[in-house]
Structure 1
Amino acid sequence: MRVKRYIVEALPEAVSLIRTELGKDAIILETKEIKVGGFMGMFRKRKMEVIAAVETNAAKAPEPPLRKPAPEVAAVVEQILQTAQRSSTAVAEPPKPAPPEPEKPVEKRGSQEQFIIEEIRELRSFMVKMSKERSDLHAMSPPLLALKQRLLKQEVDEELVGKLLDWLQEQQTLSSVELEAETVWSLAASKLEEWLEPFNHGRIDPSARVVHFVGPTGVGKTTTIAKLAAEQTIKLGKKVGFITSDTYRIAAVDQLRTYANILNVPMEVVFSPMDLPKAYRQLAERDLILMDTAGRNFRSELHVSEVNSLLQSDQPGETVLVLSLTGKTADMVAIAERFIQYGVQKVLFTKLDETEVYGAILNLILRFELQPTHLASGQTVPDDIAPFQAGSYIAMLLGEALNE
């Protein structure tokens, strides 16, 4: 048996040296922290002492069978998996017969060893996933692959993409022929429209007298309220009133007041829930009251509860969550999760004209079962807003098949 002692900064460095000098059959007998160097007992550095050994006549252990990955990544996959296998053997194997020196108990695995084991497991999972994805890509027809790339580019959730592609592959199997691009796009559109059908009739409830608009700063709540007010007054002949509680943002009140003056709409400012009864009395003759709330950090439960306290009233009403399509999907998900706890069921998306990525709409609707009311774009009041229509939205999401 050949035994060797290593002094290293960290265990991964020792594993690499052991694998290089003693081979993959080597085992780690002992690891412990020591102090070396210094001056007169001071300023000593912490190091790791690692004792490793290998049987000089050890037979080569058979390698476990590995699933062969795609040809273009075969060399990389094989090299990484072999490295992982050797590292796992070096760390995880039980000690073999003691070396020709006083036998010492093997210490329990330290955090460094556990870290290596976890890294190896994650590496294996990653390689299996990559190999499967490569196999799926080779199995897909060009139109299906183009659709997948389009949806992922649109940031549609991978689970939804996989579900849609599985259904399309079933249709292709039933037809016994490879589907053309236009057919794939048409089938995908019909399936997406089927998914969105339960949410295709979202609108602001005509019986609601008070409609609260909530959402982060900068999503366009105030402009959206002005657009809807113009629609209600000019097109539907309703008497509209404004309430704003957005006293945190500089000039927010002035912005809404400007719209109120243009539209000849009365406006009340509230600073706390105690001011609301008075505001409602001042607007008692209005058919519809649109309420602008302050944009806050809605990742904070406290801020959400503060806004929610303003939404409580004896007036028949509802709340609409306003989200900007220029925001990150993960942030929109976090905000939606906060508000659905308080019964918010409707959503309005803004800044459609400032992006070409629309997948977040599908993700949020299907994940939280939110009813979309409108899609807003641009600053023109009241033109740049329209009721949500599933067919029009899906056409934007998918684009043209021949252009993909």
Structure 2
Amino acid sequence: MRMKRYIVNALPEAVAMIRTDLGHDAVILETKQIHVGGFMGMFRKKKMEVIAAVEGGAGKAPAKPKQVPAPEVGAALQQLLLQSSKGTAAAVSPAAASEAESAPVAHNVSRPTESSPAKPASLKEEKEQFIINEIRELRDYMKKLSKSGAFAQTYSESIAALQNRLLEQEVEQRWIDELAEALQQEEQSRGEILTQREAWALAYDWFSAKLKPFTNEGIREDTRVIQFVGPTGVGKTTSIAKLAAEQSIKHGRKIGFITSDTYRIAAVEQLRTYANILDAPMEVVFSPADLTKAYKALEDRDLILMDTAGRNYRSELHVSEVNSLLHSSEQSEIILVLSLTGKFKDMTLLADRFKKYGIRKAIFTKCDETVVYGAIFNLVMEYELLPTHIASGQTVPDDIAPFHSKSYVEMLLGEADHE
């Protein structure tokens, strides 16, 4: 048995080489994706390794007259390749598709001639079915390779480095692809490859433009009641204390507190401690009926901050229960508190639950406990959230700041030469 190894860009390319080197009787024993080239393990290119063999004594096939596929097989083949091209047209060139079409057919089926009597119909149909099955397998294999990235479009080193950074930041793939395509178009219009710093600068502008429609003014001056919702452990009570201190110390507003988080005694005592430090009154409510009395007791306050219970927000019942406490005749805002250390899937569930009730503003906490910030961008784009603040640490009131897209994008992208 003669064996030979080929390193190619795509399987159809190998088929042509195998036919030339080993003849029509050769078979493909193994195919796998490998990486070649690169520098110090980086920027390696994807290739296909194909191992083919032919039985001993079988050499290169002698030249034969050009054979034409039977009309029935050609039509079936064209239909199959047309179906395949829907999934791989962007990845496979017309030349490669043509090679894939001719490779399995030319040496199996030929048009009957005077010197070659017609085969029985049953044998002809059997051969045709065999060819069709082979083409289907090739089509399915090409689709699989396309999905795995074997035929994926390649980008310059600077764009690839940016893609890796955004993958690390857990930015959703669709946004990474959209940005990469935009940068590649910029390279084509310039007629030159972007440097890494240029790619980062253009990415900064791209993210800033995406976030611009969702720039939020923070807490409005005419707001009198702010209600905070979110699961347990995200830093809801601490964020309330930070904002209360900011509004009291920096803006001179008289602050009042309401808490409905009676499920955790520690939460009530924690908020009461902050209220005592700020010399601010606090009311505890156990049902929506108690809210009217609480608002009445705090009618001399400029700003009332209300803490709600952290519940299991996978339950629609618990979400509606909290929502029943959020109705107010006062000028009010509702803010969803999310932790950047939480699972992104859980964060999307919360955003989806509360979006039904018109809640769009959000505070992102525990920024200092993670180095991954892509969740903010994903949630803003998917649920049109309006980030008001980013919080980090436990220091009141210093460890909270208004959300600014400029500083956020800088944090998301990092330095161009960070790698």
Q: TM-score, normalised by structure 1?
A: 0.70
For 1:280, give the aligned amino acid: Y
- Per-residue CA deviations over 1:325-360 (Å, capped at 9, x if unaligned) read 000111100100000000001011000000000000
Q: Secondary structure at the match of 2:320?
A: helix
Within-5 A mapping of 1:243-254: 243-254=258-269
Contact 2:146 2:152 in 1 (8 A): no
Q: Match of 1:188, as an amino acid? A: A
Distance 1:257 1:121, change over 3 A: farther
Match of 1:74 among 29, 35, 48: 48
Aligned length: 301
Structure 2 alignment gaps of length 5 or more: 1-23, 36-45, 53-121, 123-137
Name the CA distance, whole Å, in 1 between partners of 2:400 and 2:385.
Answer: 19
Question: Which residue number corresponds to residue 242 of structure 1?
Answer: 257
Answer yes or no: is 1:403 the counterpart of 2:403.
no
Which of 271, 277, 280 aligns to 1:262? It is 277
Match of 1:127 in 2: 145
Counterpart residue type for residue 129 of structure 1: K
Shift of 1:74: 2.7
Mapping 1:193-208, distance limit 5 Å: 193-208=208-223
Q: Please say if residues 213 and 221 of structure 1, whose CA atoms lie closer than 8 Å, have aligned partners that are also in contact.
A: yes
User: For residues 199 and 131 of structure 1, do their structure 2 counterparts lie closer, same or farther at Cα, with a shift above 3 Å needed?
Assistant: closer
Q: Which residue of 2 aligns with 1:338?
A: 353
Residue identity matched to 2:397 = P
Choose which of 326, 331, 340 in structure 2 pairs with 1:311. 326
| Residue pair 1:70, 1:131 contacting (<8 A) in 2 also | no
Within 2, Cα distance between the matches of 1:308 and 1:291?
Answer: 13
1:70 to partner: Cα distance: 6.4
Q: 1:239 to 1:266 in 2, by over 3 A?
A: same
What SS does the corresponding residue of 2:417 show, helix, strand or coil? helix
Instruction: Give distance in 1, aligned partners of 2:261 and 2:178.
Output: 42
The SS at the match of 2:304 is strand
Q: Aligned to 2:289, which of 262, 265, 274?
A: 274
Q: Secondary structure, in 3 states, of the residue corresponding to 1:330?
A: helix
For 1:236, the aligned partner's letter is H
Alpha-carbon distance between aligned partners in 2 of 1:270 and 1:323, rounded to the nearest angstrom: 24
Instruction: Name 1:373's counterpart in structure 2.
Output: 388
CA distance in 1, matches of 2:367, 2:51: 42
C-alpha separation in 2, matches of 1:166 and 1:150: 16
Name the counterpart of 1:160.
Answer: 175
**Equivalent of residue 239 in structure 2, options 217, 224, 228:** 224
> Structure 1's 121 and 175: CA in aligned 2 closer, same or farther, altered over 3 A?
closer
SS in 2 for 1:310: coil
Distance in 1 between residues matched to 2:366 and 2:157, nearest whole Å: 33
Which amino acid in the other structure matches residue 188 of structure 2? T
Which stretches in structure 1 are left out of the alignment for 5+ residues?
1-59, 79-96, 98-119
User: 1 CA distance for matches of 2:155 and 2:342?
Assistant: 32
Aligned to 2:202: 187
Query: Per-residue displacement from partner, 1:32-63 (whole Å, max 9, x unpaired)?
Result: xxxxxxxxxxxxxxxxxxxxxxxxxxxx9999
Provide the C-alpha distance between the structure 2 equivalents of 1:361 and 1:177, rounded to a whole number of angstroms: 33
Q: What is the CA-CA distance between 1:312 and the residue it aligns to? A: 1.0
Q: Using the alignment, how far apart are the partners of 1:370 and 1:76 within structure 2?
A: 49
Q: Secondary structure at the match of 1:155?
A: coil
Shift of 1:270: 0.5
SS at match of 2:166: helix
Asked if the contact 2:34/2:49 (under 8 Å) is kept, the reply is no
CA pair 332-122 structure 1, distance change in 2 beyond 3 A: farther
- Where does residue 82 of structure 1 map in the other structure? none
Relative to 1, partners in 2 of residues 1:328 and 1:229: Cα closer, same or farther, differing over 3 Å? Answer: same
Distance in 1 (alpha carbons) for counterparts of 2:313 and 2:408: 27
CA contact (8 A) 1:69 1:77 kept: no
Q: Is the 8 A contact 1:202 1:388 kept in 2?
A: no
**2:308 matched to 1:293?**
yes
Q: Percent identity?
A: 56
Query: Retained in 2: the 8 A contact 1:69–1:131?
Result: no
1:44-55 matches, cutoff 5 A: none
| Contact 1:298–1:335, Cα closer than 8 Å, also in 2 | yes
1:202 positional shift: 3.7
State the distance in 2 between where 1:145 and 1:173 align.
Answer: 16
Q: How much does 1:313 deviate? A: 1.8
Do the aligned partners of residues 129 and 258 (structure 1) sit closer, same or farther apart at CA in structure 2, a change above 3 Å counting? same
Matched, 1:327 2:342: yes
CA distance in 1, matches of 2:401, 2:141: 48
In the alignment, what sits opposite 2:372?
Answer: 357
Q: C-alpha separation between the residues in 1 aligned to 2:382 and 2:140?
A: 28
Show the counterpart of 2:226.
Answer: 211
Aligned mates of 1:313, 1:261 — CA distance in 2: 25
C-alpha deviation, 1:403, in angstroms:
1.5
Counterpart of 1:57 in structure 2 is none
Runs of 4+ in structure 1 deviating by more than 2 angstroms, as ranges, are 60-63, 67-78, 120-128
- In 2, Cα distance between the equivalents of 1:302 and 1:281? 28
Instruction: Please give the alpha-carbon distance, in whole angstroms, between the structure 1 residues aligned to 2:335 and 2:175.
Output: 25
Give, in angstroms, the shift of residue 131 of structure 1.
3.3
